Amino acid sequence: MDRNLSVELVSVTEAAALAAGKWMGRGNKEEADDAATQAMRKMFNSINMNGTVVIGEGEMDEAPMLYIGEHLGTGDGVEVDIAVDPIEGTDMVAAGTENGLAMIAVADKGNLLHAPDMYMEKIAVGPESVGKVDINAPVIDNLKTVAKAKNKNISDLVVAILDRERHENMIQEIHDAGARTKLIQAVDVVAAINTAFENSGVDILLGSGGAPEGVLAAAALKSLGGEFQGKLLPQTREEKIRLNKMGITDFNKVLYMDDIVKGDDAYFVATGVTNGELLKGVHYKGSTGMTHSVVMRTKTGTIRFIEGKHSLKNS
């Protein structure tokens, strides 16, 4: 990707957020997701590139658009892989609660993991703890190394983890070690990103969540200088067959940052739909919409927060 795509890519998530924001707090997550998907696809197809969706809304027979394998862009220009999540946190948008986001990741063709829609065990940390954690190590060991790397006591650490029944034992291990937990309802991408921001109050992300979200988080953390490790967790025979087709036969294989996001150039872009920890949500006033976005690029390590003012007269 020789040219800087930042402005063009942020227009994609802005369009999705502006469309979905009209459904914020109206109790209909399907309509919000559909509006974001349509707006995202339309804007993608205005960009001079030859993109292929590797993480999307589902397989071709499951999703009418932004499906895995769909081609986006004008068909000319750079060939890229695209991971899309038109709305991460559809329940949040429907309810009007925090952390609803429109997000994408883009990298050179062949450089994004084609992560199937299954669970992934994850560990994410910020720059101070890079090279110090191991997804296969006991929880207490990872907490000790992160505490040492950040010059903290274990009791000072905050661990972000999805509030799920499957995590009860891990949460107890964290508490037994003396650390604290931040239980999140969804959107573990934001929690992973927060490990790289000192003032976020999050030191490490643990637990399992969606594999597609893991790829998006890895793209962001690669730009932020953090670290992400994952292990795919197939639950059914069909999921194991899908991994075999991807060439993954060792289901205990650890996927490191460079396995998930290869090369030295990738973008992570997100726009807030509802207010949240990372970004403000969309705000409307008459024929104007205000957006708040972040654009990260691994090649330069540049992180830009962008506030946009948009005319909605023709939308």
For residue 163, pLDDT over 90 is answered with yes
Sign of CA dihedral 16, 64, 70, 240: positive
- Report all structural domains of the chain as residue ranges with CATH numbers, in order of start: 4-110+265-311 (3.30.540.10), 119-260 (3.40.190.90)
Q: In the predicted model, what is the mean pLDDT of residues 3-13?
A: 90
Residue 277 is labelled as binding a ligand: no
**Phi/psi of residue 23, nearest 5 degrees:** -100, 5
Asked which of 18-22, 35-39, 54-58, 168-172 is least confident by mean pLDDT, the reply is 54-58
Residue 30 is labelled as binding a ligand: no
What's the pLDDT at 1? 65
Verdict on whether the full-model pTM lies above 0.85? yes
Residue 57 is labelled as binding a ligand: yes
Which residue is it, tokens 């505490």? Answer: 147
Pick from 266, 272, 265, 264: nearest CA to 294? 272
Assign 2 a pLDDT band (cuts: 50, 70, 90).
low
What's the pLDDT at 64? 82
Q: What is the mean pLDDT of the chain?
A: 93
Residue 293 makes CB contacts below 8 A (sequence gap 6+) with 10, 13, 14, 17, 269, 270, 271, 272, 279, 305, 306, 307, 308
